[in-house]
Amino acid sequence: MTNKIAFITCDSLINLTEDDQILRNYLLKSGIEPVPYDWRKTPLHSIQEKTVIFRSPWDYYNYEEEFTNWLNAGFDTKKLVLNPLEVVKNNFNKIYLFELRDKGVLQPKMSLIKKGDRLGLIEAVKLFESSEFVIKPLFSAGAFETYRLDSEKFDSGIDKFFELCDNKSLIVQEFMPVITGGEISMVFFNRKYSHSVLKIPAKNDFRVQLNHGGTFEPYFPGDSLIKTGNDILALISGSLLYARVDGIVSDNNFYLLEVELFEPMLYFEGAENSCFNFKIALDELS
């Protein structure tokens, strides 16, 4: 008998991402059928499956208020939700990065600019007067509206960035050139290390996402780097079916860029035992 589970996705990915199709085919052979649901068309309480897994609701940042309300509506507490709603709510807004920084996690220098604070934006940019920096929304994904700048480029496009600031809270972050050599993504299932990839930006770009021309290849971190990833996850409470710790290494130090806990690509392609590791973690948490 096939056991059905829900995969939360979006309209454009209702047949799942290529990465999740690999996982789906593996789970089907194990007697588990993932059923995709477009979050915008499916209230959480209407989902019949007892296990609900967030996978690829990749348009959520275009519908900030709608997505927040959708999450807050909740559903039958008897359902198993992975990752749990509280984990998701704390992760889709990048304020968590500042919370981790306050707990001692090494990250590029950054400032939080509240929506409408044009003066705060100008003051934050001044901190990077002699170097490059990145401006990006606090609520975003996939490098959406993410800009690599220096002071001259900021000044020449200031009206655009003021408009962005008027509509969104922003992060102004130090640009670390080492990222042009690749960003490391370490994948964990139920807090156990599974596999890693090195995400490489296209020539003359710094964004590593596939939709911006990025590529990826297998990466094999040492025990020390894996421990760093585990230590970061130890600062985050709640059940974690999956977690992806993204960062860069500079001068032998790991700088955290993101902890992805509700809609990350998990790079099953070419990662030996990755689907098996996911299935084991799901069994452990079910």
Handedness of CA 276, 282, 285, 286 (dihedral sign): negative
d(CA 113, CA 110): 10
Neighbour tally for 171: CB within 10 Å: 21
Q: Provide the domain count of the chain.
A: 3
My answer on whether 157 and 212 are in the same domain is no
My answer on whether 19 and 142 are in the same domain is no
CATH of the domain at 281: 3.30.470.20
Q: pTM here?
A: 0.91
User: For residue range 224-245, what is the model confidence (pLDDT) as tens digits?
Assistant: 999 999 999 999 999 999 999 9
| DSSP 8-state secondary structure symbol assigned to residue 138 | S
User: For residue range 60-118, what is the model confidence (pLDDT) as tens digits?
Assistant: 888 888 998 998 887 666 789 999 999 998 998 889 999 999 999 999 999 999 999 98
My answer on whether 194 and 255 are in the same domain is yes
Provide DSSP, 107-128.
---EEEE-TT-HHHHHHHHHTT
Residue 46 in domain: yes
d(CA 210, CA 214): 5
Residue 168 in domain: yes
CATH of the domain at 149: 3.30.1490
Average model confidence (pLDDT) across the chain: 89
